Structure 1
Amino acid sequence: NVRVSGCFRTDNVAAAHAAACHGLGIGYGPFWQIAELFDRGALEILLEEFEAPRIPIHAVFPPSGMPPAKTRLFADLLVERLKRERL
């Protein structure tokens, strides 16, 4: 059971996270924004069955041959990092 009382509204992500961590209610947003709070147990996932479906991420390169090395390295870094993320 989740007990919610009072009225709190904000358009500030940090304030919303702090409020949820202090038991002032529940919040909604992308997992990557609260992953650290979740990992240390400050927040928990509720209503997981109602999460939006995950969509793939694509890297798009110009059709004019090979991209610059730094662009390719950046894309490779993203691939490795995103494999470990819960997005």
Structure 2
Amino acid sequence: MKHLTIVLLAVMLSGCGATYKYSVDAATNTMPGSVRQKCDPVPKDLKHGATMGDQTKAYDNLVGLYGECAERDAAKADWIASQGQ
């Protein structure tokens, strides 16, 4: 019984000594900087009693922010697709 215990202990300990080295030869696709940028929050330009001109400017600014955010989201989607997702 003692010999069996010693043999089993030796087999278990010999399995711990193996080391493995892994390397990946494929080039990695780094994340572009535009993916890391967050979209700006919606500005709160309008106050009570704003004129129609102020509303038009605020809407124009909001459309511009949407366009920038849409470009960033497209870059994010392209990068994620390039990663195989």
TM-score where L is the length of structure 2: 0.28
Bigger helix fraction: 2
TM-score where L is the length of structure 1: 0.28
Does 1 or 2 have the higher relative contact order (CA < 8 Å, sep 6+)?
2
Q: Which has the larger radius of gyration?
A: 2
